[in-house]
Chains A and B, each alone.
Chain A
């Protein structure tokens, strides 16, 4: 017996011994999963998540899910990445779908293709709306599973439409109509001060997201799917920004300066604006607080219809044991089943993420009573991926700064977009290897 042979036999022996010793232990002790999740609005939603985790544990006694409410999306990714850097990341987390490249660059997550290998798993990964998968896949792999996703829609005040002599049941369908309607809806008092604006498109915090509505409608994309290039200074992008700027500076149907995202729904309730663009996630809020008849519509079309998607995906973290990864996948499959996706959509106002969720009886009944809920789903066929690149937040900030500079009239749209593109180029150059 040679020395190598002895070594080999010992190695086999050791493996068998260790595996034999480890297996029963794994079967006995429950697999623990830490699960970070963000909620844009606290309170009831946290309770729903805790309830779902408890239900899952009842059905799967071998797995223990520990949901940790981690604040806003931004706070959650900060917590996840700092936990990762200190060596103890969670096993799963819901994070903005746009953080995909950041998570890949930090080597934090695994593609679902690695864990979901059976034919059934593969079919499951194909069961979501394709529009939501645009921000979840890159390089031929699936890195995220859609969970709380949204798009932008137009809300309009039917009473204001009637007062302005417009058909209350016909929202604007094109850019020209949008500007025209908004002009008719803008009301001024005797001294020329505006008492009701025609339209508000928020521009604080993350104006790029709403801007993507305009660019998509102008039939132009802001980045390539690999996340290494941006097209901020394409003529069609500048044209889209010009239209947005014109709404306030030329047509004077929207306030000048930056419009605060957080107060826009309230502006709508207070009849400060007759139409607004905001997320479908505000649907329940508007339904509960608007004291007038309102409508929800797809965004008006430019050259085509269009809106970006938004919201959060599930991710599985690399630094977990294989048993934990299998258990995480099981939980994500469980929570994204058609019935639960439907209930989650009804409870929160997010778009149920898979077509078959809309075929469930409970969802059908909900839509029959409240047809506005289906608008976001119908718009998905025109939806594009939300702006997401490597070094995402920095590249996005370049665009945000440019947009705000143009909207506050500090730069022309052309100048603003050229500056933004130059900055984005500088940041992205190292990623094009």
Chain B
């Protein structure tokens, strides 16, 4: 009894904000959206059937997978690199740490507006640099083949600093004895990193990986500012499309079905990570 009471506050929050919405979403995804003269009705799997036939859905799904495949490894690798660097004894370490972390603190909408001008053809920062090398001007956000890549860079820049903080904390908890022992044994820096540091960072990597996967499906603020999913849906991600369907087209039934797909994808990733990777992670 006592135990249940202690559990109650957390349970109430979980049910109200996690479990109930999930079940409600599932329920609503089996109904049509009410239209003038046609009240909402049970349509079974029709929303899902529409989804299979919806070319935009497949495109945003593919976009999102490419986006995840690019942002996750890049931001994690960069985070480790930065963490190892600012963990060493170098002058101006505090300032360096701060500047790596700054992107995390800045609001995404403001940041996206600045990046919009970085990518502007002609006089944008990027064009000024490429112009120095005599490269021709390129419409970075306006071309099908570079637009998504531009968004990936913004995300990596935004995320890497955040992940760096976790790696930095993990690095500082690694005992200095190990470093001393390794140098006595004559291990090189790369060998030491590969065989000692990196395995010890694995719990952090797992945590960061889970976060990175979630973020790659969750971060859409910059799309609203920078491309609005264009040109021709090449930068639309799943969550952005759900917003479009739910709050621009007001097709709540279809939006519920799409949301459920997002949920299943994320749940599958999280399960896979915890069940499969967890066994291979070495906890101290």
Contact = CB atoms under 8 A, between A and B. Distances in A.
B232 A408 contact: yes
A430 to B, nearest CB: 6
B35 A263 contact: no
A260 B144 contact: no
A278 interface: no
A289 to B, nearest CB: 14
Interface in B219-258: 227-228, 230-233, 244, 247-251
Interface string B102-144: 0000000000000011001111000000000010110101111
Given A204-B142, A272-B122, A433-B37, A404 B249 contact: no
B122 A408 contact: no
A266 B120 contact: yes
Nearest to B123: A270
B88 interface: no
Contacts of B143: 256-258, 408
A394 interface: yes
B39 interface: no
B116 A260 contact: yes
B36 interface: yes
A284 B117 CA distance: 21
A408 B141 contact: no
Contact of B137 (A193, A203, A204): A193
Contact of B120 (A81, A263, A391, A410): A263
Contact of B141 (A74, A260, A394): A260
A105 B230 contact: no
A401 B233 contact: yes
Contact of B244 (A397, A404, A431): A397
Nearest to B233: A401
Interface residues of A, number: 41
B279 interface: no
B116 A267 contact: no
A249 interface: no
Given A257-B142, A259-B142, A260-B141, A410 B136 contact: no
A408 B121 CA distance: 15
B231 A74 contact: no
Given A193-B136, A256-B139, A410-B144, A404 B120 contact: no
Q: Give the secondary structure class of B's interface.
A: loop
Contacts of B117: 263, 266
A270 to B, nearest CB: 5
Contacts of A255: 121, 137, 139, 142
A30 interface: no
B38 interface: yes
A371 interface: no
Interface in B26-69: 35-38, 56
A260 B122 contact: no
B116 A258 contact: no
Contacts of A391: 249
A270 B122 contact: yes
A201 interface: no
B144 A263 contact: no
A262 B142 CA distance: 13
A404 B231 contact: yes
A263 B116 CA distance: 8
A410 B142 CA distance: 13
Interface string A261-274: 01100110010100
Given A203-B142, A260-B141, 8 more contacts: A204-B231, A258-B142, A259-B142, A260-B142, A267-B122, A397-B244, A405-B231, A430-B35
10 contacts: A102-B250, A107-B36, A256-B142, A257-B142, A257-B143, A257-B231, A259-B142, A272-B123, A397-B244, A433-B37
Interface of B: 35-38, 56, 116-117, 120-123, 134, 136-137, 139, 141-144, 227-228, 230-233, 244, 247-251
Interface of A: 74, 78, 81, 102, 105-107, 191-194, 203-205, 255-260, 262-263, 266-267, 270, 272, 391, 393-394, 397, 400-402, 404-405, 407-408, 410, 430-431, 433
A-B complex: 9 closest residue pairs judged by Cβ atoms: A257-B142, A258-B142, A257-B139, A404-B232, A272-B122, A393-B248, A404-B231, A405-B232, A257-B143
